[in-house]
Amino acid sequence: MPDAEDVRRIALSLPETTEKTAWSMPTFRVAGKMFATLPEDETSIAVRCPKEERDELVLAEPGKFWIADHEAQFAWVRARLAALEDDDELGDILADSWRQAAPPRLLDAHPELGLPPGA
């Protein structure tokens, strides 16, 4: 089961990612744009996710994903770390969020972080 240190390690391994404390919690940013946070007691992560996909995730796996009330109008979703299968799943979630925040120059420079297979 991944934990907050795994989130930090994997997020910071993504190109040009920095960690900054905001709203009294760790946030992870690429080129100044936030793509992940470790809210509350660091047992979950909040990541970017298009609203259509987010709603599907929450319906398909409500034990893993949910939408925080104050984030409902934004394209973000929460994931419970304890519900994630392993570091690979966590890495996929973080990389997907990173891609949504990264500028085109980084996406072009790191094709290995491009769209997931089948996308």
DSSP string, 35-101: EEE--TTTTEEEEE--HHHHHHHHHH-TTTEE--GGGTTTTEEEEEGGGS--HHHHHHHHHHHHHHH
Q: Which of 68-72, 88-92, 114-118 has the lowest mean pLDDT?
A: 114-118
Q: Does residue 119 register a pLDDT over 70?
A: no
State yes or no: pLDDT of 113 exceeds 90.
no
The 10 Å Cβ neighbour count of residue 21 is 8
> Of 103, 92, 90, 96, nearest to 33 (Cα)?
103
- What pLDDT score was predicted for residue 98? 97
Q: Give pLDDT, residue 116.
A: 53
- Span 70-90, mean pLDDT? 95
Going by pLDDT thresholds of 50, 70 and 90, the confidence category of residue 13 is very high
Rounded to an integer, what distance in angstroms lies between the CA atom of residue 19 and that of residue 101? 14
Largest CA distance in the chain: 37
